[in-house]
């Protein structure tokens, strides 16, 4: 009898599901072998109090990178859109006639986008301020962030991938190397940026006529002592390729890039790199200031930059002079939610980026974040940070060159077993709709057609 009741309830739930979603979406899910219980969907006009579609909306699901919506909105409202990060340089010694008889100390405050280009300009400023020769060490002060335990292999056992870079108060250039591969007959020319002083490149990558143009990477990068070894192959007739790797610990990477740029600028250095603190009682010799938060979140959301999202999330946890840590960051987001008030009892945040197996939020509550954003003083800044359908970011290739191009701002999320999309769709009728579609299933990778079908249905039927 109990089995019969369960079967009836299951049939009713599936019938409710079928009545709620457009046939085109149901067909796409069926084709992808994704069952109804593995999706969470909400479609709601942005100013309405109730959704027109609600499927498994209260089920806690892994949102992947759509979690960045909560991180960036709460950051905009707690830190402010004009928030800037700083990086300071201190002289721990006497500077005389261009010679520093002591150490050059760098202190970071979590800048998510301190690039090589910005670093070069800032080091040029140090030269203009009179610093030419450093006879001591390069000292790195990371104390703005509390000590963190980060295993880059923990998430997917691929520690060299740039998206697995952990946060660091003195993060430089995402701690990443840009690899540009150029086919040259049977061999490959490999360009690696930035240049790392003290490291050599051993390029063993060749070309292959057997490899498809769009497939899994057939090459790799690894560190062997002070040699960067590139191995594998790229397709022979498919043009140039780009990739990003992270091979060095943060401090070694910072020192290698600094040494290369400093030498290029005509400076000299005698010492090594080590961790330490700024000299007490001194003012900074020079300070670099980041772009504003409103600009930084464009990179975080449009290109789903996990490293930048981690940096921003940790920054929110810094208060009262105490080092930032994950616990304080989570508390900051929860405090913001309470002030709205928004109650998300199922919410689990691990790092603010969504690159997590533990993160959880319901489709309904993710839709509430988007609806709350429309009432924010900084709604324009948040929406401008989202990828534009068919035009840029992670949805550049979806609905490209068709009538739907440009009619939605959508954040995407992808993990093994997770495919999500959340944002705003501008319908033909003139209204703006909130759409959230989360898939948690082993076949989630095949769920894009279902998500696209829902976007098209909302845009063309409302």
Give the SS3 label for residue 130: coil
CA 109, 113, 116, 122 dihedral sign is negative
Q: CB 335: neighbour CB atoms within 10 A?
A: 12
pLDDT of res. 190: 95
pLDDT band at 16 (very low <50, low <70, confident <90, very high): very low
Q: Give me the residue label for tokens 């430089």.
A: 172
pLDDT band at 215 (very low <50, low <70, confident <90, very high): confident
Helix or strand (DSSP H, E) at 367:
helix 363-374
Rounded Cα–Cα distance for residues 308 and 111 (Å): 8
> What pTM did the predictor assign?
0.93
pLDDT at 320 over 80: no
Supply φ then ψ for residue 452, to 5 degrees. Answer: -65, -35
pLDDT at 15 over 90: no
Q: Give me the residue label for tokens 């769709």.
A: 425
pLDDT of res. 5: 44
CA distances (Å), origin 56, targets 14, 48, 296, 421, 445: 11, 19, 33, 15, 19
Rounded Cα–Cα distance for residues 135 and 307 (Å): 33
pLDDT at 74 over 70: yes
Give the SS3 label for residue 204: strand
Cα three-residue angle 132-253-107, rounded to 5 degrees: 60
Taking the CA atoms of the chain, what radius of gyration do you get in angstroms?
A: 25
Q: Which two tokens stand for residue 399?
A: 């609905």
Rounded Cα–Cα distance for residues 282 and 271 (Å): 22
Q: Which of 338, 391, 381 is nearest to 79 (CA)?
A: 381
What domains lie within the chain, and their CATH numbers? 20-82+295-461 (3.40.710.10), 86-150+250-290 (3.50.80.20), 177-245 (no CATH)
Supply φ then ψ for residue 184, to 5 degrees. Answer: -145, 80
Which tens digits make up the pLDDT trace of 254-288? 999 999 999 999 999 999 999 999 999 999 999 99
pLDDT at 138 over 80: yes
CA distances (Å), origin 362, targets 10, 58, 168, 335, 356: 21, 5, 30, 19, 15
Which tens digits make up the pLDDT trace of 111-128? 999 999 999 999 999 999
**What is the rounded average pLDDT of the residues 80-96?**
98
Cα–chain center distance at 444: 20
pLDDT of res. 155: 87
Percent of the chain surpassing pLDDT 70 = 96
- What average pLDDT does the structure give for the chain? 94
The residues, any chain, with a CB within 8 Å of residue 31's CB and separated by 6 or more, are: 446, 449
Question: Do residues 26 and 459 lie in contact, with contact meaning Cβ atoms separated by under 8 Å?
Answer: no
pLDDT at 27 over 50: yes
pLDDT at 71 over 70: yes
């Amino acid at each position: 009898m109990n089995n019969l009741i369960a079967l009836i309830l299951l049939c009713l739930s599936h019938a409710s599901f079928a009545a709620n979603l457009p046939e085109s979406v149901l067909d796409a899910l069926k084709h992808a072998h994704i069952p109804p219980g593995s999706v969470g969907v909400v479609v709601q006009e942005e100013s309405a109090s109730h959704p027109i579609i609600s499927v498994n909306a209260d089920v806690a699901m892994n949102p992947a990178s759509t979690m960045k919506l909560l991180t960036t909105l709460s950051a905009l409202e707690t830190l402010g859109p004009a928030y800037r990060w700083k990086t300071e340089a201190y002289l721990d010694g006497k500077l005389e006639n261009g010679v520093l008889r002591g150490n050059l100390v760098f202190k970071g405050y979590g800048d998510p986008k301190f690039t090589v280009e910005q670093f070069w300009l800032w080091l040029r400023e140090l030269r203009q301020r009179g610093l030419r020769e450093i006879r001591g060490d390069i000292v790195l002060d990371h104390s703005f962030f509390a000590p963190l335990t980060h295993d880059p292999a923990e998430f997917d056992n691929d520690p060299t991938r740039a998206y697995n870079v952990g946060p660091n108060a003195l993060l430089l250039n995402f701690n990443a190397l840009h690899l540009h591969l150029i086919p040259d007959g049977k061999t490959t020319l490999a360009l690696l940026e930035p240049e790392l002083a003290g490291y050599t490149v051993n390029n063993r990558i060749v070309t292959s006529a057997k490899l498809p143009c769009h497939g899994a990477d057939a090459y790799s990068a690894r560190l062997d002592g002070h040699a960067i070894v590139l191995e594998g192959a790229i397709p022979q007739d498919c043009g140039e390729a780009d990739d990003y790797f992270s091979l060095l610990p943060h401090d070694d990477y910072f020192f290698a890039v600094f040494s290369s740029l400093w030498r290029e600028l005509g400076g000299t250095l005698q010492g090594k790199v080590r961790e330490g603190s700024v000299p007490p009682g001194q003012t900074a010799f020079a300070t670099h200031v980041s772009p504003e938060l409103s600009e930084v979140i464009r990179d975080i959301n449009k290109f789903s930059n996990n490293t930048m999202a981690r940096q921003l999330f940790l920054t929110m946890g810094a208060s009262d002079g105490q080092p930032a840590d994950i616990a304080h960051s989570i508390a900051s987001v929860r405090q913001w939610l309470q002030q709205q008030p928004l109650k998300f009892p199922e919410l689990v945040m691990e790092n603010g980026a969504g690159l997590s197996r533990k993160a959880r939020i319901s489709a309904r509550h993710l839709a509430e974040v988007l609806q709350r954003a429309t009432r924010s003083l900084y709604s324009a800044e948040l929406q401008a940070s989202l990828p534009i359908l068919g035009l840029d970011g992670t949805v550049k290739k979806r609905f490209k060159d068709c009538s739907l191009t440009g009619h939605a701002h959508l954040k995407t999320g992808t993990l093994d077993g997770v495919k999500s999309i959340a944002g705003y769709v501008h319908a033909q009728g003139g209204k703006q709709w909130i759409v959230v579609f989360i898939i948690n299933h082993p076949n989630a990778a095949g769920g894009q057609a279902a998500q696209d079908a829902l976007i098209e249905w909302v845009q063309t039927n409302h």
